């Protein structure tokens, strides 16, 4: 008698984006002449840059010729790409060996799969609010209890509030796995060195592991802010990092990411080398490598020309972020983020619930955003606005908010 994984029945998320779509559809059906504008998407909108397109073409051409054709590649990724990624970390003043870099089909799968190499008994801490994958992958693996009063039992929520600039303190009690995302989705907050050093000190003291998501590192323009957890002394002993070409180079549909698992990383009961070995084993067993065509595109992103082009793409989205941030501030709204991250995190006016504000913004300004409460209990009373979109559309949405939102 087959039974399904009972932990799936506990999941709550999956509700957020379908509910946004449902309410938007209902509004559009009732107001067919209104143009609904979107500041809700966490997806890139601008085309791939010329050198990346050329790289992808090179990948295709290699497959067209018997002399350069390749089939399965290494599960861990193409050597040249692993070396180029290690070289990027050298640019941050960090030593990462190429064989500590594992190329993948994206940061979402890696951040969902990484938990599988750790004990089922691990106590998990997440930022609240957080990217939903960290929570849901651990719910599915059975590391939490039931959903009760808006949170999962057994999960440690680290509150991110205006008072701590949306970067939490390390937990008071002992936890085993700590998920950190900086620059943060959804709050747009970026952790500074001192804040990350506090987590590294905590993890070393408690033999915990930090799972650091740096998918938005390319959006940091302030030179004092760390782009990698490995810029913090001691992080190679207690942290691993997951990252992606998605937001840096518009690869959300192309699919390419990587994880860095240092051979020096250790935890309770695992000598240095073991966590690295387990992730290698996991990937070799469950994953057959990223597309060879796409890895050529990734190499092109990391070329000097590719880096110039992706910097221009990031600057384009960050100009949108400024449009949103300044436009909302001009009408007296309180907003956070949007400076070194493509998300603006807005406090709802008058203490409105996130979903009530969603309806108000849609009805009055015809703008769709993302209710903060969809990212965890700490997101209630907040709203995420995304800088991904065409500049003219973002400008029109902000103008509509300024002219039509009743405050």
Chain residues binding ligand PLP by CB under 6 A are 42, 106-108, 131, 181, 185, 213, 215, 244, 246-247, 252, 257
Q: Which is nearer to ligand PLP, 257 or 298 (CB)?
A: 257
Residue 223 beta carbon to ligand PLP: minimum distance, rounded to whole angstroms: 23
| CA–CA separation, 96 and 87 (whole Å) | 8
* Least Cβ distance, residue 179 to ligand PLP (angstroms): 10
How are beta strands 209-213 and 382-386 bridged, if at all?
A: unpaired
Do residues 212 and 229 touch, judged by C-beta distance below 8 A? yes
333 or 379: CB nearest ligand PLP? 379
Could you tell me the smallest distance in angstroms from the CB atom of residue 19 to ligand PLP? 19
Work out how close the CB of 217 gets to ligand PLP at its nearest, in angstroms, rounded to a whole number.
11
Decide whether 131 or 336 has the Cβ nearer to ligand PLP: 131
Residue number closest to ligand PLP, CB atom: 106
From 152, 129, 131, 151, select the one nearest 141 (Cα to Cα).
152
Best CA proximity match to 352, nearest among 386, 378, 382: 382
Residues 6 or more apart in contact with residue 380 via CB below 8 angstroms: 353, 354, 372, 373
The answer to whether 184 touches 190, Cβ cutoff 8 Å, is yes
Question: Closest CB to ligand PLP among 314 and 405?
Answer: 314
Instruction: Give 218 or 266: the residue with its C-beta nearer to ligand PLP.
Output: 218
Three-state DSSP state, 61: helix
Q: How far apart are CA 191 and CA 214, in angstroms?
A: 11
Least Å from the CB of residue 34 to ligand PLP = 29
Half-sphere exposure of 292 (CA within 13 A, CB side): 14
CB 246, min distance to ligand PLP, A: 3
With a CB cutoff of 8 Å and minimum separation 6, the contacts of 319 are 391
Between residues 220 and 362, which has the closer beta carbon with respect to ligand PLP? 220
């Amino acid at each position: 008698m087959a039974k399904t994984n009972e932990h799936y029945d506990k999941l709550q998320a999956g509700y957020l984006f379908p509910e946004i779509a449902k309410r938007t559809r209902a509004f559009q059906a009732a107001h067919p002449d209104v143009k609904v504008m979107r500041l809700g998407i966490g997806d890139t909108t601008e085309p791939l840059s010329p050198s990346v397109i050329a790289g992808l073409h090179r990948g295709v051409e290699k497959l067209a010729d018997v002399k350069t054709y390749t089939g399965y590649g290494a599960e861990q990724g193409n050597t040249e790409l692993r070396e180029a990624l290690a070289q990027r970390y050298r640019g941050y003043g960090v030593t990462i060996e190429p064989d500590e870099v594992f190329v993948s089909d994206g940061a979402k799968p890696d951040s969902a799969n990484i938990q599988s190499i750790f004990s089922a008994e691990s106590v998990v801490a997440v930022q609240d609010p957080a990217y939903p994958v960290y929570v849901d992958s651990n719910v599915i693996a059975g590391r939490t209890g039931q959903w009760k009063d808006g949170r999962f039992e057994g999960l440690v929520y680290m509150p991110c509030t205006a008072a701590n600039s949306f970067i939490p303190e390390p937990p008071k009690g002992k936890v085993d796995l700590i998920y950190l995302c900086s620059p943060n989705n959804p709050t747009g907050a970026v952790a500074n060195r001192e804040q990350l050093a506090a987590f590294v000190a905590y993890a070393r003291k408690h033999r915990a592991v930090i799972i650091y998501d740096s998918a938005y590192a390319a959006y940091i323009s302030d030179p004092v802010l760390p782009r990698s957890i490995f810029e913090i002394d001691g992080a190679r002993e207690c942290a691993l990092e997951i990252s992606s070409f998605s937001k840096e180079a518009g690869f959300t549909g192309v699919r390419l990411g990587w994880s860095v698992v240092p051979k020096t990383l250790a935890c309770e009961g695992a000598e240095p080398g073991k966590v690295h070995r387990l992730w290698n084993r996991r990937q070799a067993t469950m994953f057959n490598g990223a597309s060879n065509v796409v890895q050529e595109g990734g190499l092109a992103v990391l070329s000097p020309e590719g880096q110039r082009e992706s910097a221009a793409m990031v600057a384009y989205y960050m100009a949108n972020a400024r449009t949103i941030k300044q436009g909302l501030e001009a009408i007296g709204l309180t907003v956070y983020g949007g400076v070194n991250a493509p998300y603006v995190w807005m406090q709802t006016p008058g203490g409105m619930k996130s979903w009530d504000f969603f309806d108000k913004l849609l009805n009055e300004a015809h703008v769709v955003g993302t209710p903060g409460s969809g990212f965890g209990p700490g997101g209630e009373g907040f709203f995420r606005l995304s800088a991904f979109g065409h500049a003219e559309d973002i400008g029109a949405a902000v103008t509509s908010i300024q002219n039509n939102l009743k405050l």
